[in-house]
Amino acid sequence: MAKLKKHFICSVCNQQEVQWQGRCRSCGSWNSFSEEPSGGIPGVSAPVQGRAGTGIKGEQKGHSKAVALAEVPIPQIQRQSSGFVELDRVLGGGLVPGSVVMLGGEPGIGKSTLLLQMAARLQQRGTKVLYVSAEESALQLKIRAERLGCAESQFLLLCNNHLGNLVAGIHRRAETGSTGPELLIVDSLQTILEPSLGTVPGTPSQLRHVTQILQDCCREYKLTMLLVAHLTKDGVIAGPRTVEHMVDCVIYFEHGEHDLRILQANKNRFGSTSEMGILQMTDAGLEELKNPQQYFLSQRSGELPAGIAIAPVHEGSRSLLVEVQALTVPAKGSVSRIFADRLDNARVSRIAAVLERHTGVIFSDQDIYINVAGGLRLQDIALDLPLALALLSARKTRPLPKYLTSAAELSLAGELRPIKHEELRLRSAADFGMQQILLPQKRSTNTGNEEEAKVRITRLDQIEEVLQQIFPSST
């Protein structure tokens, strides 16, 4: 057999080079190139080689000619519950038959625990599940199942990391008719191997090939597939540009405070990416919270410390009150720095610049530290005003009123801009006992009168007005 030729490919953007490069000239990533075979087995094309190596039968089905968009039929999608209400929320209502979902998270965060519990719950409801473990043995999974209380479940286990064996097993069970699996769980993608490629598991070529073959297999047999993916040191799924575009949904599994686990979708072809799921890790596995609100606000008997602001945020269909924490200290060097764990540093820098320009409060000589209690990673634009209040409170070392909350977008001109879902934010504030809320000027005629009666609403136009409202003695 002729020797395989080699080339180098960037794991971030798929840029190909004939020699190893320290930095990718396409995306700028450092040390992202890995060596891979460029031609496969001489004389055999890559698609044919892949199907022959995995035993998939038949041709790829699809439209062979162009059709008018109006003539494309829309089938009624029957979503299936995953067994977790919070995961269903992030998925957009449940699992879509034939879809491919990727779940990424740090080692030890609970990905395998979540999927093991899901497999047991779905099997109990009559769904046929095949759990493929390429990292752990059947004994290890059995021990974990004993701890989770699902050791007697009848879902099928396949502990093998060879792609050909995996696809052959799916093919054999699917051909038997009624005993074929309906849900395929692969734990994990980076450990599945196709030996014909001549590389180790986890390389970009392996990830692309394995994902494509498994996806074709699921489409052929109408299986729903859940893939477990590892995160890199940068906090993204390994081989992001290589694999993420191939799947239907990408969900990140993140740590929160109080043993909380946060589920957030980065991509979802069948639903919104703004939803957030909240679970808690216990000795008996992952559990859903009846009242997640209590984990995001500190229960204090006295006044708030300086630098604390309460914000009603809206993520997807859920409104929560969260605590934004700010700390400012004199800069250690000639240039100030910003440390924001759960918010974008550029956003914090922008808010600080707007405050310095329109209120006269100096932040350019301060190191700024920002945190969101509970470990939530938030994107809500209405968090601008609470962040500004937390920075002002920290810089002036003066606490905000304990039962005050706020929500508004802050423009570069210092204006408070309108936000969405005011009614839901007002309801959340009222339910938690807030007495006053700062909002931008009313731009619509439909605002909940009942909530306005429970919470005193103060509507303002400029950030200078907010400063005088909260700190009247400031100049």
Write the DSSP string, 57-104.
Answer: -SPPP--SS---GGGS--PPP--B--S-HHHHHHHTSSBPTT-EEEEE
Is 146 known as a binding-site position?
no
Residue 71 maps to a domain = no
Question: Using CA atoms, how far apart are residues 255 and 110, in angstroms rounded to an integer?
Answer: 10
Number of domains in the chain: 3
Residue 451 maps to a domain = yes
Q: Would you give the DSSP letter of residue 147?
A: H
Q: What is the pLDDT along the chain (475 residues), one digit of tens a residue?
A: 444 456 787 777 767 788 888 888 877 778 778 776 654 433 333 433 334 344 444 444 555 688 899 988 888 888 999 999 999 999 999 999 889 999 998 888 999 999 999 999 999 999 999 999 998 999 999 999 999 999 999 999 999 999 988 888 887 776 665 556 889 999 989 899 888 887 788 888 888 889 999 998 888 888 899 999 887 666 666 655 668 888 999 999 988 877 899 999 989 999 888 888 999 999 999 999 887 777 888 777 788 999 999 999 988 888 889 999 999 999 987 788 999 988 999 999 999 999 999 999 999 999 999 999 888 888 899 999 999 999 999 999 999 999 999 999 999 999 999 999 998 899 889 988 899 999 999 765 554 554 455 889 999 999 999 999 998 875 4
Is 109 known as a binding-site position?
yes
**Whether 125 and 261 share a structural domain:** yes
Residue 475 maps to a domain = no
Is 111 known as a binding-site position?
yes
Domain harbouring 377, CATH code: 3.30.230.10
Question: Using CA atoms, how far apart are residues 358 and 221, in angstroms rounded to an integer?
Answer: 62
**Whether 259 and 403 share a structural domain:** no
Residue 432 maps to a domain = yes
Is 61 known as a binding-site position?
no
Question: Using CA atoms, how far apart are residues 203 and 191, in angstroms rounded to an integer?
Answer: 10
**Whether 229 and 349 share a structural domain:** no
Burial of 26 (0-12, 13-18, 19+ CB in 10 A): middle
Is 433 known as a binding-site position?
no
**Whether 218 and 366 share a structural domain:** no
Query: In which domain, by residue range, is 156 found?
Result: 47-55+80-290
**Whether 39 and 51 share a structural domain:** no
Residue 74 maps to a domain = no
**Whether 305 and 286 share a structural domain:** no
Is 98 known as a binding-site position?
no
**Whether 442 and 459 share a structural domain:** yes
Residue 180 maps to a domain = yes
Q: What φ, ψ does residue 317 adopt, rounded to 5°?
A: -105, 10
C-alpha 281 chain-centroid distance:
17
Question: Using CA atoms, how far apart are residues 248 and 250, in angstroms rounded to an integer?
Answer: 7
**Which residue has 């759990």 as its token pair?**
131
**Whether 307 and 200 share a structural domain:** no
Is 164 known as a binding-site position?
no
Distances (CA, A) of 329 to 97, 323, 336, 346: 53, 20, 10, 19
**Whether 11 and 152 share a structural domain:** no
| Identity at 31, one-letter amino acid code | N
Residue 73 maps to a domain = no
Angle among Cα 357, 363, 365 to the nearest 5 degrees reads 125
H or E stretch at 175: helix 163-175
CB contact at 8 A, 15 and 24: yes
**Whether 249 and 309 share a structural domain:** no
**Whether 256 and 376 share a structural domain:** no
pTM above 0.75, yes or no: yes
Residue 264 maps to a domain = yes
**Whether 280 and 321 share a structural domain:** no
Is 92 known as a binding-site position?
no
